[in-house]
Amino acid sequence: MERHFERELDDLKSNLVKMGSLVDDQLGKACEALFGANVPLAKQVIERDSEVDSFDTLIDKQCLRIFALSQPVAMDLRLLMSALKINNQLERIGDIAVNIAERVEPLVAYHHFLVGTRLSEMAQIARIMISDSLDSFVQSNATLASRVLASDDIVDKLDRTTFYQLIQDMQRDNRLIEPASHMMILSRHIERLADHATNVAEDVIFLVEAKIVKHNALEEPR
């Protein structure tokens, strides 16, 4: 029975890693499509979203089955709790990849305007955060997870900078209102990517060190 339980946990971790790899690939292709004005690639990302949803359902069912049939404690219980939460974050990252892909076609005619913003820089940082958060899970590396948390403020600042730049662009030329509106939404999507990476990193720290670091606070509420 114990060996069966261990196999279940190993299978769960393996599926989470596969889910993470799929989502990372989806996001990479969505960003490549956006900044390369590649509509066919964007459509591939949208069509592949069902694979992410299938993994999401599979992992949820695995966690619930283990909860129902076993009595996990300590590290194993933390793994199951973290797996459920990380799976949810990955599914949302997959959704954002689709949201980014859906903005590609409307912005093809404004490619020069797009690459003149800091959206590419934001996306690059957010993708590194996601990659590092996934690596921290695979390696059970709380130090790497902590570095992810430190990057979140950078993306937040770039989001604000981009927002005000786009406002100025729209005021300067009303023909840019429509593409700038798309880019504002993209900026918010990318900011959310960084938030999801941060959430995964927080779950890794909880898993490895049994510390709750959500909202950057370890102390008990007063």
Domains for the chain: give ranges and CATH numbers.
2-216 (1.20.58.220)
pLDDT tens digit sequence for 156-188: 999 999 999 999 999 999 999 999 999 999 999
Sign of CA dihedral 126, 131, 132, 138: positive
Rounded mean pLDDT, 189-197: 97
- What pLDDT, on the 0 to 100 scale, is given for residue 215? 58
Other CB atoms within 10 A of residue 141 CB: 16
pLDDT value of residue 83:
94
For 143-163, b/e burial (b = at least 16 CB within 10 A) is: ebbbebbebbeebeebbeebb
Does pTM top 0.75 for this prediction? Answer: yes
- At 1 the pLDDT is 52
11 pLDDT tier (thresholds 50, 70, 90): very high
- Asked if 205 and 142 touch (Cβ cutoff 8 Å), the reply is yes
Q: What is the pLDDT of residue 6?
A: 83
Of 124, 197, 114, 138, nearest in space to 14 by CA: 138
pLDDT in tens, 22-58: 999 999 999 999 999 999 999 999 999 999 999 999 9
CA torsion angle 171 173 177 178 (round to 10): -170
pLDDT in tens, 52-76: 999 999 999 999 988 888 777 888 8
pLDDT band at 216 (very low <50, low <70, confident <90, very high): low
List pLDDT tens digits, range 105-152. Answer: 999 999 999 999 999 999 999 999 999 999 999 999 999 999 999 999
